[in-house]
Amino acid sequence: MSSYMPPPSTLNPGATVWDYLRDSGGTSQELSVPQQDQEVERFCAMYGFVRVRSFCDVARSGTSVVGRDSFLDMIEKILDPKTRPHVILVWNYSRIARDLTDASYYKGLIRRYGIQIHSLTDPVTEGEYKPLVEMMIDFSNQEKSRQTSRDVKRALHNMANQGFSSGGTPPRCYLAEKVEIGLKRDGTPRIVSRWIPDPDLWELGQLAWKLRAEGKSYLYIQKATDGRLYKSVGSWNSFFANESYLGIGKCGDERIPDHHPALIDRPTWDAVQHLRRSHPKNDPQDSSAHPRRIAAPSLLVGMVFCENCGAAMSHQTYNKSTWRCYICGKKCREGWKSCSAQMVNARNAEIVVLDSVLNRILTPEYFSDLLIKVQECFANDADLERQIKDSHTALSKVERVINNLLDVLETQGGASISLRLKERETDKAALQAKLLMLENQLAASTLKISPEAIEVVLSDWRDRLLHDLQVQDIQAARAILQQLIVRIDMGYDHIRIFYRYPLSGGAPMLEGDFIDQRLSDLPGACNQSIFEIAPHLAPVARPAKPPKPVNPRDAEIYRLHTEEKRTISSLAEEFGLVEKSIWGICTRMRKMTGTVMPG
């Protein structure tokens, strides 16, 4: 080809050249990259340029730079001033990118380092309109890519609606059958595929679905199918989640019924999906049925934080779930030395929190005292109203500044404008938070609640919490506590409870100060009352250990020592043991029999 676009006039013979070659893949582009390479070689020979290096991406789309390793390698190497070329050659600008944003960014980055870019075929001449022409070409390349994508998707959807596969490997129990549906423009046959039952696996697939609908485990199904469908038990989860077995074809977001023969019917599918949804792993929105939550319920998770480092604390169990504790989350993530906090006995902490909530926070006297204190703190209504007015004025000014900056950014752009815009948006968020706080304080200063209303509200909270604790619905009880407790700072023997009263009817939320409590301060009578309210916190008596069988040798040694008055040294010599072992045996036997050894 001789009709190349001439190089920029600033390039002289001997200029160093890099070139970038790319094709999008497919049978029609098998020779695209070699042909581009030949044309670049001819161009360099024609104008006397020195071709230093070539970068090539084969079968890579230009709509993204992801996976284009050679292109990204070229961008990285232009940072080295010792090896930068004078110009980078491309067959056309679509080789660089078919996305307008990517094309503008990477071409601007290359030119920023003083490197020119030249297209062998795109009609771009030098002059003041060159950037505009290039942008129009880049836009045209992007639009062509969009239209091609649209046409390909339309063709795939059309094929799928005719019962043919839109691509990919058929699911297990199906085979892809090749079908000729006509000729291409070059006269070669057009081959597509459709899914048909696999005679070797079809009945096994139906058996697997039937067993799963009956509630059988994956391991049971694995053995029942002799491992012919899957070698690993972990593969069954995706098998039973694939709606293709209902005969539904997929093409993008479209679902096509009766696309291929169905392996199962709808009732079987529904039964299996009900089993899948009941497993907490397949329902991340509701993990209440997780085995750990059932085996070891935790009342305070999500509310407790480490007193030392402030990290959220997690709930763990030890000794086969008989001892529960709250432990600093930072220790769990980064190691035991990352925080000096110790494990906190979960049972003791939950007893203290429940006692504080039931006997202090949810009492009318405590609420009334808090309301009086809040109203005394915010009694100066005029000052609060002045602060609210000033905050509204400042917020209006910031919003006007933001609107002006947005207008400037749309017309002129610039990194400094963007930075100032972010700063003003931060100021706006701070003013809105301050305004909300002041309005709540003003509302709290004028809040009037009758003692009867207080008693009704707090009694309702207490009754609901007591009911959930009695029936041992720990998750429901935790939900109530989360509405009353802001956070709990927890140490080894000390907790600090920050609480609030979420009032209804549009009233502001009253937040108290905090309650300090030591875990060892509660008397036994208080503990006993909590045990009656929350049976799951009551200590569980451990079963008595069965007596260990007596070793006949140890029984004989003890008898000789106690009845025949044999000395320790003589027994050690006779039985081949050291004297310390004889003493240990006699001590154990004395504890088991309750007799007294001779002095």
Residue type, 577: L
pLDDT at position 378, please? 47
Average pLDDT over residues 204-222: 91
Contact call for residues 408 and 368 (beta carbons, < 8 A): no
* Number of domains forming the structure of the chain: 4
pLDDT tens track for 321-350: 678 889 998 888 888 889 999 999 888 888
Confidence of residue 507 (pLDDT cuts 50, 70, 90): very low
Residue 288 lies in a domain: no
Beta-bridged to residue 430, according to DSSP, are none
**pLDDT for 504:** 53
Same domain, 346 and 414: yes
Instruction: Give the confidence band of 209 by pLDDT, cuts at 50, 70, 90.
Output: very high
SS3 assignment, position 289: coil
Is the pLDDT higher at 111 or at 293?
A: 111
The pLDDT value given to residue 290 = 54
State whether 505 and 357 are in the same domain. yes
Range of the domain at 585: 552-593
Residue 251 lies in a domain: yes
Query: How many C-beta atoms surround the C-beta of residue 165 within 10 A?
Result: 23
- Are residues 450 and 558 both part of a single domain? no
Query: What pLDDT is recorded for position 462?
Result: 85
* CATH code of the domain containing 203: 3.90.1750.20
User: CA 295 from chain center: how many Å?
Assistant: 24
Domain co-membership, 379 together with 358? yes
C-alpha distances out from residue 596 to 67, 509, 549, 568, Å: 84, 70, 20, 15
Residue corresponding to tokens 């079908």: 179
Rounded distance between C-alpha atoms, residue 21 and residue 221, angstroms: 52
pLDDT for 384 beyond 70: no
Is there a single domain that holds both residue 223 and residue 344? no
Computed over every residue of the chain, the mean pLDDT equals 82
Q: Give, in order, the Cα–Cα distances in Å from 284 to each of 130, 295, 315.
A: 54, 19, 19
Distance CA 17, CA 37 (A): 13
363 and 448 share one domain:
yes
547 is a domain residue: no
Residues 483 and 568 in one domain: no
Residue 186 lies in a domain: yes
On whether both 393 and 521 belong to a single domain, the answer is: yes
Q: Is the pLDDT of residue 111 over 80?
A: yes
Q: Do 143 and 178 belong to one domain? A: no
Average pLDDT over residues 27-48: 84
The answer to whether residues 126 and 201 belong to one domain is no
The confidence score (pLDDT) of residue 267 equals 93
- Residue 166 resides in a domain: no
Statement to judge: residues 270 and 411 lie in one domain: no
Q: What is the mean pLDDT of residues 563-581?
A: 90
Does 201 reside within a domain?
A: yes
Q: Does 484 lie in the same domain as 346?
A: yes
Per-residue pLDDT reduced to its tens digit, 403-462: 877 777 666 656 666 677 777 787 888 888 778 777 766 665 555 556 676 677 778 888
pLDDT of the residue at 506: 44
Please tell me the predicted confidence (pLDDT) of residue 74. Answer: 93
